[in-house]
Amino acid sequence: MGLRRFGRLVKWVGGNGRRPFSTSSSSSCDEMMVQQIASGKSLNLYSAINQALHIALETDPRTYVFGEDVSFGGVFRCTTGLADRFGKQRVFNTPLCEQGIVGFGIGLAAMGNRAVAEIQFADYIFPAFDQIVNEAAKFRYRSGNQFNCGGLTIRSPYGAVGHGGHYHSQSPEAFFCHAPGIKVVIPRSPRQAKGLLLSCIRDPNPVVFFEPKWLYRLSVEEVPEHDYMLPLSEAEIIREGNDITLVGWGAQLSIMEQACKDAEKDGISCELIDLRTLLPWDKDTVEASVRKTGRLLISHEAPVTGGFGAEISASIVERCFLRLEAPVARVCGLDTPFPLVFEPFYMPNKNKILDAIKSTVNY
């Protein structure tokens, strides 16, 4: 139960105007983290997000949270109670204009603040695409590092929810992974969501943070109540195995884990990796795993063509070509708009993943 899995303790140092980071890796800090986790509280994912935002606002007066309907808690209740606690000058509603929300966030961050912007659904992030890709991602580069909007974090719920149809179910992460200058992060659980979100808010780069809305209330686990961070761009091996490597992120991890357990009944040992950060992603961890297993399967909800799984596949083939025992498998969403009544056919479910595991191992 080390720091790599559960994050590191944040020590707030006020008065210097800098973003706080813990540099401690001592055993005493590790023991303190274990004790704090043991005294954690059972939370669902949206409550963990709320707790992270509360800590961010409480520990730094330069933090602001804003977006459509956030002052009364938002559609998914992630910002409940924040306006009452910190005031409507720091937690406030915006007009229904995603381009304006992100543009305002860029300006706020450029002035040295931490701007936490909420886009109500990831499906509606596209009006802000120009601001994210052409402004936020390039702000530091075009000024020769004289200016930056690194304090900007854009939160948005993504993915299937069971009844969302084509305007409330999309997974647009791959669009933003083509934009150097931003980071893209997706958590799989409440504990991960809290630690990763705090890291994103305090990271010196703009971040797009997609939250799996399917898990807002469904995923529940023990979450440390204190202030902690989890490392960005560091994948986590959540299940070790020898026959095949599985890579995913967000809500898809729970589906993949079910497939791994079923494959184990047939004598197939699966190694499951949560990428956590998609841009920049942890190539070394995935490469080391594939060199061990000789096989790779990637799964995500987004359509298969042009999905981020294609980038992972190409990179691993370049690095591990002579080690691969089978073609890289991808189990993803279909190349159609996200359907409503046909959602069960569209989704990369457990049975599809299990079939792909068996096909790859028996290739």
Residue 239 · residue 270 · CB < 8 Å? yes
Task: Quickly count: other Cβ atoms within 10 Å of residue 89's Cβ.
Answer: 8
As a whole number of angstroms, the distance between CA 336 and CA 310 comes to 17
178 is known as an active-site residue: no
Residue 152 · residue 285 · CB < 8 Å? no
Burial, 340: exposed, middle or buried (Cβ in 10 Å; 0-12, 13-18, 19+)?
middle
Residue 322: what residue type? L
As a whole number of angstroms, the distance between CA 185 and CA 182 comes to 10
Burial, 323: exposed, middle or buried (Cβ in 10 Å; 0-12, 13-18, 19+)?
middle
Residue 83, classed as helix, strand or coil, is helix
For residue 218 the two structure tokens come to 């469904």
For residue 225 the two structure tokens come to 């109540």
As a whole number of angstroms, the distance between CA 119 and CA 67 comes to 6
Residue 259 · residue 360 · CB < 8 Å? no
In the set 68, 118, 135, 168, the catalytic residue is 168
Alpha-carbon distances of 271 from 92, 211, 287, rounded to whole Å: 43, 24, 12
168 is known as an active-site residue: yes
As a whole number of angstroms, the distance between CA 67 and CA 96 comes to 8
Angle CA 9–219–338, to nearest 5: 120
Compute φ and ψ for 273, nearest 5 degrees.
-120, 130
Active site amino acids: 98, 168
